[in-house]
Structures are given as structure tokens and as C-alpha cells.
Structure 1
Amino acid sequence: MAMAAAHFDISHTHGLFASARNPAQTSSAALGWTSLFLSEQQEEPFKASAEPVPDHLLIFHLGGLAQVTGVVEDMKIQAVIPPGTLCLCPANSTLSIELENSIETLHLYIRSSVVNDVAKSLGYDFPDGIRLRPRVGQRDELLEQLAFEVRSVAASGGASTALYVDQMALAIAARLIRHDYSKEPAPAANSRGLARGRLKRVQDFVEAHLERSIQLQELSLIAGLSVSHFVRQFKRATGVSPHQFVLRRRVERAKRLLAHSDQSLAEIAFSCGFSHQEHLTHTFRRHVGSTPGNYRRSAQS
């Protein structure tokens, strides 16, 4: 079985909001995500120096003018940062900050391994990993939209969000790289899509583990490809993303159980990998055009 990547929790962050003074209102800490970590909080004035961490930190200012003094890497900061802007603290950067007033922020960490993998797939060759530049008070509407989507997923909860979030991380990484580097993506090495044997191994793994959270890294390891190459080749071979494929297989299993078992809807949701019964109902209606209850009555009549 493929080894799952490490759970991205608050111990892997700078720890700025581990205390009761700035508690997170929304967090991904309990969701088992491996590529992203998110927290949303009301920040009260504070002063801190944090040890470098190996992953990149994006800070989105949601409300209030941030009066900030500090240092990120070798960039000195003394600014009033307005809502609707972001700051970036690259991986392995020193961070010293003093906040003089109360603000609302969204912190989004992304694994440097994800960014490096995407950079390699785009044709960049950095033996020690790609280096992102610090950013302070910049606007980036696409990154903001991606971050808000991640926040929405975190708020909805559930282990089944992990695969979707992994794919969101790829989009975020590509946007970060595009901002600092202008090289056009390299041509895809294989335009035919995932080889039949590799595709079969991935499909078999998905079927065998539908009841639990499935991570993108697991599927790419089974295929023997980097995450970003796997996603592209899988979509060429199947016409859908890995996340969409897994959702469809979960719906198909749910249809079989609804038609041929007397399990409750909650039990079927759990055995198919949905977070809860409402998640099953919402997804099932979108894919089938009917609620699970109506489908069961029709199939068993």
C-alpha cells in the first residue's frame, strides 16, 4: 500500500496562533490534509519572532488596516497593509513581526514539496528547490479566490475533502511560481495519458479504499509519477480529474448499496467515503439527479 504523506497540522507552522490570545475561527487542523494548512482568526496586537519553517506561508488580510513592522527574510517591513491584499513568507525564511492593531486574517501554508514538484513539471530545474520571493501588501485576485475556496472546504469539514484540497494546492503552487518566474510550461512528456497498467493500478486502489480519505500523493506514488504529472496524465486518460473520478466511484458504490442492501443512508455514506449523510445526498443529487432515498425506492420497487 502507498504511504500517506504527513498530516499538515499546527506544529508544522510558525505557531503564531497556537495560544488562546489569537484562537483560530476556522482551521484545517483536524481534517487530515497533507498539502495545505489553513487558519482564519481575529489577530490582536502582538510581537513575535518565529523560527523558519520548511513551507511557504500566505497571509490574506480580510479586515482592518494592518499596521505592521518586522522582517521577512531580508525584507524590512514598516507599512500599513489594507484589506484585500496578501503577504508571502517563503519557506525557510526568518520571520519577525509586530502588529499594532486588531485585524482579521487568513493564513494558508503550502508544502514546499508541492511547489517544487509543480515547478519541475513546468520545466524549472532548481536542485535545492524553487525559491519564492517575499511579498508584502500585494493584490492577487486569483490567489485570493483559491484561498477562499480552501476556506470554504475547511469550513465544510470531513476527511473526504483531502483529495480536492491536494488539487487546489497544485493550482496555488502554479500561481505562486507564475508570479516570480515567466518561463512558459514545458511540453508534456506523454500526450497519450496514463499508461494502461498504471491506470489500472490506480483504479484498483481507489475501489479498494473508497471508504476512507484518499490522498493525491498516494495515487501518484502508485502510478510512479510526480503529483503534477500524474494529474495531467490521469485526466488525459480518463477525461476527468482524480477528485472527480473518486467522487464518481463513490456515487456508483452508493447506487449499488441503495439498490441491493438495507443499510441506512448514514451507513452507506460512511462506507462510500462521504463525510456524512448530507454530503452523500448533495453529491448524489448532483450526479444522479435524484436523492438517495428516491433512488432507493425506485430501484427496489
Structure 2
Amino acid sequence: MAAAAHFDIGDTHGLFLGSSNPVQTSSAALGWTSLFLSEQQEEPFEASARAVPDHLLVFHLGGPAQITGATEDERITTVVPPGGLCLWPANSPFSIQLADSVETLHLYIRSSVVNEVAASLGYHFPDGIRLRPRIGQRDELLEQLALEVRSVAASGGASTALYADQMALAIAARLIRHDYSAPPSPAAENNRGLARGRLKRVEDFVEAHLDRPIQLQELSLVGGLSVSHFVRQFKLATGLSPHQFVLRRRVDRARRLLAHSDLSLAQIAYSCGFSHQEHLTHTFRRHVGATPGHYRRSVQS
């Protein structure tokens, strides 16, 4: 099954490539497909950005900072407070002039994700939903979601991709609700959860691919549903989000290997899809209440 393309810095506006505002950290090496995140200390600059097919959210982590932003329809000069954001919609060029030094978080979200969530909410946009630009506004929920994505990226590892996909759905829903406050009534939906046969196929797929990153798009394809519909139906059926379910399966496999194999902790970590041994230890302790080493000694004694 073909995996979705990784969201890399080459898919962005490239605002900081070769500039005096180099990216300090990013999600480029994490294999994410729905989101791309970068964090940087921006010094005063001016730039014109070409249109790209995905949406860009810029959060000011410090400040205040004066900016002048312009789209094809308007030009605004304002002072952005800490926590303020700018939204530059997909397929729209813009220009930006930053007058003050400020730390920022850039978060790109695939327009395909936003379009799919809009459809699941009952909106019908044959050419894709159009978001409105924002310059210097506050949105505390979007800010908290972005900071959670930042925290996930900082934890590192390709195994964060599934959680990032789920965060993208929440961000997309918030963006849509902001611009379209009166959604149409969605079609009636099965409230019993994923059918048993579909759930079994998903469970088998997860078990067969625990040694590598698993993408939400892959699970939805196996389940035969759109991503947003799959997430809702899966949680109804299992009581867990796909990310939680996969993480539990990784921990369950680690428990079996710790009890019945002589593999090293590093080998077990990789065979269960954890990024590294420390990631296994942290996750295992949180779920089991003991470190992998202590657990192995207790069950093999």
C-alpha cells in the first residue's frame, strides 16, 4: 500500500531558505504527511511568497512585533501580540514585512486534509474550501493545538506521524468552524462504530506493520472510509483513537518480547516501531508502570 508523500520544507513557501532567519527546528525528518512545522527566530525582513497548494499558520511565540501583510485583496499593518497568528490560505500569494525580531512557529496543513474534514462536516465545495486570511488575530484553541504539535515534534521519531495526522484533523476543523460558523447538517452516520470485519482488517494491518511508522491514511484505506470518518468510527468501536490503539499494540508487543526473547532493549524498540530505546522506555513506563528492564527481570525471574 503506497504511503502518502512526506510533507517537507520543499513543499513550503521557502521563506527561510538561504535567508538570515534559518530554521532552528522542524518536522522535516519525522515523516509527517499532513503537517509541516518549523520554529525560528525571525529578524526584520521583507518577502514576497508565491502561492502554494497548502495553508500556512504563523504563530508569534514572542513579541509584540509589528508586521505589514498583504494579499491580493488587502494590506494591513498591525502589531501582533505574543500568541497572535497569521493565516495565509492555500493557492494565494502574499507579501510580508516584519519590523521587529520575534520567535515564530510556522505550521503548514495540507489543503486536502482541510477539504476532507469540510466534506465530513457536510460542506460541499467542488473546488475545495476557501479560508480567509488572518493577520495578527488571536485564537487560543489554534494556539494550543499548534503548541501540542510543537511538543510532539520535539519528542522526535517517525512514530509521531499518526498522532500528527490526528492533530491535523482537529486543526482543520477549527479553521473551518472559524470561517463557516453555521455548518449544514451532516448526513446521518452509523453510531455503532466500525463494522467488525473492517475493524479486524485494521487490527491485522497494525499488527503486521508495528515495526514501522503507520499513517492514518493507511488505516483509513484499510478500513474503507475517509480519514475523518474512520477516526470517529474507530473510536466508537474501540474506545481509543487510532494513535492510542497503535501505541498500546506497540507496548503489548514489547511486553511479549521482553518476556519471551533475549533481544536487547534497542532491538525490541525498533521491532515495535519506537524511534529509539529511550522512546520505548518512556512509553513503556507510562503504560505499564515499570521500565522495560525492570519488567523483564520481574517476569523472567
* Matched position secondary structure for 1:214: coil
What are the equivalent positions in structure 2 for 1:282-293 lying under 5 Å apart? 282-293=282-293
Q: CA deviation at 1:69?
A: 2.1
CA distance in 1, matches of 2:197, 2:76: 53
Q: Which residue of 1 aligns with 2:24?
A: 25
- 1:145-170 Cα offsets, whole Å, 9 max, x none, are 11001111111110000000100111
Q: Which residue of 2 aligns with 1:173?
A: 172
- 1:247-289 Cα offsets, whole Å, 9 max, x none, are 0100110011000101111110111001111111111111112
Aligned residues: 300
Q: CA deviation at 1:127?
A: 0.7
CA distance in 2, matches of 1:80, 1:285: 45
**Partner AA of 1:276 in structure 2:** H
Q: Which residue of 2 aligns with 1:232?
A: 232
8 Å CA contact 2:45, 2:97 repeated in 1: yes
User: Is residue 243 from structure 1 mapped to residue 243 from structure 2 by the alignment?
Assistant: yes
- 1:116-165 Cα offsets, whole Å, 9 max, x none, are 11111111111111111111111111110110011111111100000001
CA distance in 1, matches of 2:61, 2:30: 23
Q: Which residue of 2 aligns with 1:13?
A: 12
Q: Which residue of 2 aligns with 1:56?
A: 55
8 Å CA contact 2:57, 2:88 repeated in 1: yes
Q: Which residue of 2 aligns with 1:164?
A: 163
Relative distance call for 1:57 and 1:201 in structure 2 (3 A) is same
CA distance in 1, matches of 2:19, 2:293: 44
Q: CA deviation at 1:20?
A: 4.5
Aligned CA RMSD, in angstroms, stands at 1.2
What are the equivalent positions in structure 2 for 1:1-301 lying under 5 Å apart? 2-184=1-183, 186=186, 188-301=188-301
CA distance in 1, matches of 2:122, 2:111: 17
8 Å CA contact 1:75, 1:134 repeated in 2: no
8 Å CA contact 1:193, 1:235 repeated in 2: yes
8 Å CA contact 1:68, 1:100 repeated in 2: yes
Q: CA deviation at 1:197?
A: 1.5
Deviates more, 1:62-71 or 1:266-275: 62-71
Q: CA deviation at 1:75?
A: 2.4
Relative distance call for 1:25 and 1:6 in structure 2 (3 A) is same
Relative distance call for 1:241 and 1:188 in structure 2 (3 A) is farther
CA distance in 1, matches of 2:158, 2:283: 15
Q: CA deviation at 1:188?
A: 4.7
**Partner AA of 1:153 in structure 2:** V
CA distance in 2, matches of 1:178, 1:300: 53
* Matched position secondary structure for 1:164: helix
* Matched position secondary structure for 2:129: coil
Q: Percent identity?
A: 81
Q: CA deviation at 1:106?
A: 0.6
CA distance in 2, matches of 1:214, 1:54: 25
CA distance in 2, matches of 1:70, 1:206: 45
8 Å CA contact 2:69, 2:135 repeated in 1: no
8 Å CA contact 1:73, 1:134 repeated in 2: no
CA distance in 2, matches of 1:25, 1:144: 20
- 1:213-251 Cα offsets, whole Å, 9 max, x none, are 100011111111110000000111111010010001001
* Matched position secondary structure for 1:269: helix
Compute the TM-score of the two structures, normalised by the length of structure 2. 0.97
CA distance in 2, matches of 1:17, 1:66: 18
CA distance in 2, matches of 1:239, 1:18: 43
Deviates more, 1:287-296 or 1:247-256: 287-296
* Matched position secondary structure for 1:132: coil
CA distance in 2, matches of 1:293, 1:144: 38
Question: What are structure 1's unaligned runs of at least 5 residues?
Answer: none
8 Å CA contact 1:35, 1:166 repeated in 2: yes
8 Å CA contact 2:65, 2:79 repeated in 1: yes
Q: CA deviation at 1:187?
A: 5.4
